[in-house]
Structure formats: structure tokens, C-alpha cells
Amino acid sequence: MITLSQLAKKAFTQYADKIAVADKYKELSYKELKKHSCQLANALISEGLRKGDRVAILSTNRAEHIMIDLAIAMTGLIKVPINTKLHPRETEYILNDSNAKLLLGEKHLTDKINYDGKVVTFEDPFTTFIKNSNSEYPNISVFESDPFAIMYTSGTTGKPKGAVLSHQAMVASAQSLMMACEINYDDTIGHVAPLTHGSNFLAQCALFFGLKQVIFDKFEPGKFIDDLEREKVTVIFMVPTIVNLMVMDDHFDAHKLRYVKSINMAGAPIAAEKLRYALDKLGPIFAETYGLVEAPMAITIMPKAKLPNYLSSCGAEGPMVEMVLRDEDGSAVAQGEVGEVTCRGPLVMDKYWNNEKATNESIKDGWFYTGDLGWVDAYGHLNLIDRKKDIIISGGMNIYPREVEEVLNWHGAVKEVCVFGVPNDKWGESVYAHVVLKNDSEIASQELIEHCKEHMASYKKPAHIEIVSELPKSPYGKVLRRELKEKYQEGVT
């Protein structure tokens, strides 16, 4: 398997005159991208940075992300991407934990944090930083086993952990995505999700085919579909939250997505009812993948042609990974039985940065334990149930929050829902839910509880449902179940 720098060098040569990347600020050919990436790589070396040192990025979506990736790949440095929606204290923790030697980013973001290292912003200082540097490849040996990035988890429980991903892991993830999204030489890749996270894995696919990447700096449902149509984007990564907001927008026009052949949907589970609605609007263009920061893109793949027949599944084992579901003792469970998803292969992280305890808890005998529970059908399709830590045990019975959420999502008035367990004096835990209604809907909590009772065992129905205006979400768009549970941490009677 080759490194990202080797992939980049091939693309620079073979597609020199083709447009490589475009955002609202600039458009660069592969020849120009090569020049700027090499200049940046040599400027980093001139700063005294050496192979293995960490370089952090704090920026919204823009072309510099691609340039930095390639400069990092050429020098053997390690990228530390930081989500711009994090609190400054969270950003400072990541910078300190990774011991980043330099921070690249946008001034309005970098000015908000306390950081002792060198800061180079994308305003004029960045141009000055690279303009006098050599535009040839740096003479540094980089291997597939070398770390490329430390990607921090969203920190939904405690401090975020830094997953160390090698060049091998990034290339293997790209190969999985190319298969899932059926990418070829004619495609144009779009980015609207953060390039500091999920969309970045799709960026590496462009190097294999010399594709144009179009970068959008923010998501506004109406404007976004106009942008997709204008740029003739064919492949794009979206989290379910973005998909829902797009198709439920009052001005949504499916015809404007006529060039889009594959929407890679990942990052969080999507309710079957919401997915069915999106399919009705757009047809079978969704390719679902399941992975984690620690094992990205993709442990499983559900091709777009099969997805309409398996709305509750996230697909079968991907090409660059082995997957086994295990019980509490670590033994493989039988087909159809619930177990924890474990995996191994070239796309799995090497370790958690500077955290031996967490590494040993998650990687056992070469297998990564995801913390996700699911079961596999006779055709190898994985059906995720819930996070292991989120199981509700009420009266000695296991209740999976996602199962209850699926039923609530069947109701036409429900827009979003989060189900969680709270301590209960009698039963151990009770099932609670927070529900966001669609804009024009009015419904009593008790009616939703009765709806659950009609469609599932009575002991699984929520004891209480609170109608709310929004659900707490992480910077990556995941609902923060933990925050809702903390509201009821003293329990209920």
C-alpha cells in the first residue's frame, strides 16, 4: 500500500492542468496545488519542524485544508485537525495534549485561544509564510506505517481521545469510500461537512483519479442545492442531520441534485423513516457507511442499489477490514445474536495518542472494540442497535434507546428524538425521551407515549416525554445523549 504523498505526486504529474480544488476564494490546478503544497512543506521544515512533529489546523472549510494535507504527507509531520465549533478550552486541551508545535488557521478563530506555539493564519501571514519557499518536493522518506493524523473523538464522555491514523489507514479508508460511492474519473467531489472530520476521508479519493474538489464553507439548505447544481457535484459526504435539513426545507427542489450520483451518508445512525423520506425525494443515491474516528470509512458499506431494501442496516463488511461481533467474554456471537462490533485491518487506528490505558481498553489481541452493539443477518448485513454504554436496564430488562427512537420517528409529527435512561428507585432505570416536533405540528406527550405502546412492548415505552425546541448536539452533529441524562442524574421516583 502506498502513502498519501506518493498518491499526490502521481496526481500532480498526470493531471497537472486539471482543476484540483476550488472554494469561494480561489481555484487551483494540480500544477498550482503542487507548487503551493511543496512551498508550505518546505516552509514548515524551515521553521524547524521535523518528521513526527504535530501541526494543528483550526479553520472552516477552504482550499488550504487540501494544501495542508499534502504538505503534511510529504514531510512526515502529523496533522491535528480541530473542529471550529469546539469551545476554546476544548481546542486548547487538544493543542496541549498533542503538543502541537504550530497552528495553521483563520485569524478570527485562532485569536480566541491561548496557545504558546507559533500561529500562522490564512490571511496575509500565510502568503508571506510560504512565498519564498522552495516549490520542489522535500527530501524526506515517508512510509505507509508513519502517522499522518491525530483525529480527536467528539468527547461525548470525558476528555476527547486522539486516534492516531497512519498513511495506510487513510489510503485504506479512501479505497473503501471509492467502492462505496462508485467513484471514477468523471466525478466531481463536493465538501460541505467539516474537512476537519468526515469529509476529509473523501478528499483523499480525489488523488486516485485527479478529481476536482469543490469546497463549500457553510450549509444553507436553499443556497446549497443551487451550489451543487452549478458546480455539477457528483459525489458528496453528508451526515444525516444535513440530509434531513436539506430534504425537509420548504424550497427543496430535487431536480437541482440531478448531477449527484452518490451521497455518502455516515457519521451517525439515521432513523429508517427519515431515510425512507429522503429516498422518496431523491431516489437511490445514498451509499451508507459505518465507521468511527478510530476505524474510519468504512467498517461496513451499504451500496446505494441495496439500501432501499435494507433501511435499518448500515451494510456488510467493507473490503479493508475484518468484523466480528463478540459477547462480554470476547467470544464471537452467532448470526442473529447481539454483540459488540470489533474489527481489525489496515484502516484501524494504531493507538490513542498519549493514552496507553484507553488504547489497551479498546484494542485487544489486535481487535478494536467499537463500543457499538448490533447483530448480523444471514447475508452479513450489520444492524446497529446502540452504544453499549447507552443500554437502559429497567426491571432487569435490556431496552435499546435506538429501538424506541425508531418507533417515535414513525409518528408524522416527530422531527427529531433522543431516548435515554434515568435512575429510578423501583425499576433501576426509566425510559425518558426528548422530542422535537415538525414546525407545523402540535401533539401532547401522552399521545406519543400511546403511539409507542401500540407498536412495541409496554415496558419499552417512555415513562416520560418532554417536547423541546432542539436537542443538544456535538460539533460533529451527533445528539449528546449524555447531556440529557445529566438533567436527571438524581433520578426519579
Chain segment 349-391, per-residue pLDDT in tens: 999 999 999 999 999 999 999 989 999 999 999 998 878 788 8
What per-residue confidence (pLDDT) applies to 163? 97
Residues 467 and 428 in one domain: yes
Give mean pLDDT, residues 205-216. 97
Q: Which of 321, 356, 382 is the last residue of a domain?
A: 382
Q: Is residue 492 part of a domain?
A: no
Residues 396 and 479 in one domain: yes
What per-residue confidence (pLDDT) applies to 181? 96
pLDDT over threshold 70, residue 25: yes
Looking up residue 456, the CATH number of its domain turns out to be: 3.30.300.30
Q: Which of 382, 416, 432 is the last residue of a domain?
A: 382
Q: Is residue 242 part of a domain?
A: yes
Q: Which of 382, 401, 416 is the last residue of a domain?
A: 382
**Among 10-14, 113-117, 321-325, 489-493, which stretch is predicted with the lowest mean pLDDT?**
489-493
Q: Is residue 76 part of a domain?
A: yes
Q: Is residue 493 part of a domain?
A: no
412 compared with 40, residue with greater pLDDT: 40
What per-residue confidence (pLDDT) applies to 390? 84
Residues 49 and 182 in one domain: yes
Looking up residue 378, the CATH number of its domain turns out to be: 3.40.50.12780
**Among 100-104, 241-245, 358-362, which stretch is predicted with the lowest mean pLDDT?**
241-245
Residues 364 and 478 in one domain: no
**With contact defined as beta carbons under 8 Å apart, do 126 and 62 qualify?**
no
Q: Is residue 143 part of a domain?
A: yes
Residues 451 and 344 in one domain: no
What per-residue confidence (pLDDT) applies to 52? 97
- C-alpha 284 chain-centroid distance: 21
Residues 368 and 402 in one domain: no
Q: Which residues contact 96 (CB under 8 A, 6 or more apart)?
A: none
Give mean pLDDT, residues 26-49. 96
**Among 33-37, 148-152, 311-315, 378-382, which stretch is predicted with the lowest mean pLDDT?**
311-315
Each as own residue / partner, the long-range contacts of residues 335-339 (CB below 8 Å, 24 or more positions apart, any chain) are 335/376, 335/377, 335/378, 336/375, 336/376, 336/377, 336/378, 337/375, 338/373, 338/374, 338/375, 338/385, 339/373, 339/374, 339/375
**With contact defined as beta carbons under 8 Å apart, do 157 and 485 qualify?**
no
pLDDT band at 200 (very low <50, low <70, confident <90, very high): very high
69 compared with 460, residue with greater pLDDT: 69
**With contact defined as beta carbons under 8 Å apart, do 393 and 421 qualify?**
yes
pLDDT over threshold 90, residue 90: no
Query: What secondary structure, in 3-state letters, does the chain show?
Result: CCCHHHHHHHHHHHCCCCEEEECCCCEEEHHHHHHHHHHHHHHHHHCCCCCCCEEEEECCCCCHHHHHHHHHHHHCCEEEEECCCCCHHHHHHHHHHHCCCEEEECHHHHCCCCCCCEEEECCHHHHHHHHCCCCCCCCCCCCCCCEEEEEECCCCCCCCCEEEEEHHHHHHHHHHHHHHHCCCCCCEEEECCCCCCCHHHHHHHHHHHCCEEEECCCCCHHHHHHHHHHHCCCEEEECHHHHHHHHHCCCCCHHHHCCCCEEEECCCCCCHHHHHHHHHHHCCCEEEEEEECCEEEEEEEECCCCHHHCCCCCEEECCCCEEEEECCCCCECCCCCCEEEEEECCCCCCEECCCHHHHHHHEECCEEEEEEEEEECCCCEEEEEEEHHHCEEECCEEECHHHHHHHHHHCCCEEEEEEEEEEECCCEEEEEEEEEECCCCCCCHHHHHHHHHHHCCHHHCCCEEEEECCCCECCCCCECHHHHHHHCCCCEC
**Among 77-81, 213-217, 429-433, which stretch is predicted with the lowest mean pLDDT?**
429-433
Residues 296 and 423 in one domain: no
Q: Is residue 326 part of a domain?
A: yes
Chain segment 297-314, per-residue pLDDT in tens: 899 999 999 999 998 899
Does this model's pTM top 0.75? My answer is: yes
Residues 52 and 81 in one domain: yes
Residues 363 and 414 in one domain: no
Residues 320 and 466 in one domain: no
Residues 330 and 407 in one domain: no
Residues 101 and 221 in one domain: yes
Number of other residues whose CB lies within 10 A of the CB of residue 180: 27
**Among 64-78, 114-128, 335-349, which stretch is predicted with the lowest mean pLDDT?**
114-128
Q: Which residue(s) pair with 104 in the sheet?
A: 57, 120
Q: Is residue 329 part of a domain?
A: yes
Q: Is residue 237 part of a domain?
A: yes
Give mean pLDDT, residues 197-221. 93
Write out the residue range of the structural domain in which residue 94 sits: 4-382
Q: Number of structural domains, the chain?
A: 2
**With contact defined as beta carbons under 8 Å apart, do 213 and 200 qualify?**
no
